Amino acid sequence: MFSFSLKPNSLKGSFPILMIAGIVWGSEPGYADYKGATVLPKSVSHCAKSCSPGEQANYREDMMIREMFDKLHLSSKQQSAILALMSSSREKNHALFLKADSTRANMVAYLKSKNATFAGAQAKSADFQKIMHELAIQRLTTWFQIRKQLTPQQLENLNQIKM
């Protein structure tokens, strides 16, 4: 059985480019309330143990973005533009993740059915992979839109950042 799930920080240290592009994490139960970075909070005290996994993911992404903005010395105009791009992308991604969750659940139900066939499972898997491909294209689109907001020096600095 194939299952796709990324948890917050699962790519830490590997893909700072994707991190700033605002990946929407999860397709795992408990992450339904994950909305992504929007507010950029200043402390963790409000979300120590009482938050759901999705709210904790929101907070972690907010902190990573705040750190990235600080390291790149972005102007307030750049920050606003990037957050707007991320918000727009996140809305598109959210709909795709819901579709992926539904498709994955249908595939799992099919695999558990008495009438499951290899060809049928392949078809369901292909449907799921098509949605995941759409998500990847959306992330790349967002990344290149964000790159346009950065100066050459900021781009160079971004490539040096380890998250």
> Would you kindly state where each structural domain of the chain is located, as residue ranges?
16-158
Sign of the torsion angle spanned by Cα atoms 43, 44, 50, 54: positive
Tokens of 83: 């957050």
- Reported for 152-157, long-range contacts at CB under 8 A and 24+ positions apart, including other chains, are 154/72, 154/73, 154/74, 157/71, 157/72
Give the relative orientation of helices 152-160 and 53-72 as an angle to the nearest 10 degrees.
130
Determine the pLDDT at residue 56: 67
Please tell me which residue, 52 or 152, carries the higher pLDDT value.
152
For residue 141, the Cα-to-chain-centroid distance in whole angstroms is: 13
Query: Per-residue confidence at 103, pLDDT binned at 50, 70, 90?
Result: very high
Query: Per-residue confidence at 1, pLDDT binned at 50, 70, 90?
Result: very low
Contact at 8 Å (CB) between 22 and 160?
no
| 12, pLDDT greater than 60 | no
| 117, pLDDT greater than 90 | yes
pLDDT tens per residue across span 18-63: 444 333 333 333 334 445 544 444 444 455 556 666 666 667 777 8
Determine the pLDDT at residue 70: 86
Three-state secondary structure of 31-86: CCCCCCCCCCCCCCHHHCCCCCHHHHHHHHHHHHHHHHHHHHCCCHHHHHHHHHHH
| 75, pLDDT greater than 50 | yes
Per cent of the chain over pLDDT 70 is: 63
| 153, pLDDT greater than 50 | yes
Determine the pLDDT at residue 20: 40
> Of 21-35, 65-79, 99-113, which gets the smallest average pLDDT?
21-35
Could you give the 3-state DSSP secondary structure of residue 10?
A: coil
